[in-house]
């Protein structure tokens, strides 16, 4: 990226083995079709991840991308078992959004060496 503003590098997630995050639950964006207080579930793919945040690509089946505006809060409700220990239950805030992508900042940075984690993950490129 030309205008890179991250303090900590991220690992790119790509290729046919890229991880599909099954569902992300937006904790503070109500679902208009659900009961009051119900959270919306959005399927997305992780494009890159670092200790402080990640870039997500949404499948905009139901206008999901419009729910992920800067300041929106979300929680990772479900993710593949390989990522559960790393990302499961993580809370984050959307800091930017563009088309079907958004960048999120974790409330609490990941407590692991991303390089060590990436060593065992065939879907993370260097």
Is the overall model pTM greater than 0.75, yes or no? Answer: no
Give pLDDT < 50 ranges for the chain: 1, 16-17, 22, 29-32, 34, 120, 122-126
| Domain range annotation of the chain | 24-121
Span 9-34, pLDDT tens digits: 666 655 544 555 545 555 554 444 54
Alpha helices (H) in 28-92, listed in sequence order = 81-87
Residue 54 makes CB contacts below 8 A (sequence gap 6+) with 10, 46, 47, 48, 92, 103, 104, 106
């Amino acid at each position: 990226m030309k205008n890179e503003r991250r303090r900590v590098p991220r690992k790119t997630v790509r290729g046919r083995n890229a991880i599909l995050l099954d569902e992300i639950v937006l904790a503070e964006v109500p679902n208009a079709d659900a009961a009051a207080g119900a959270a919306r579930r959005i399927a997305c793919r992780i494009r890159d991840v670092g200790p402080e945040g990640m870039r997500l690509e949404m499948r905009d089946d139901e206008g999901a991308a419009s729910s992920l505006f800067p300041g929106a809060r979300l929680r990772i409700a479900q993710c593949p078992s390989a990522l559960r220990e790393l990302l499961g239950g993580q809370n984050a805030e959307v800091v930017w959004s563009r088309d079907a992508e958004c960048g999120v900042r974790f409330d609490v940075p990941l407590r692991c060496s991303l390089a060590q984690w990436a060593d065992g993950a065939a879907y993370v490129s260097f």
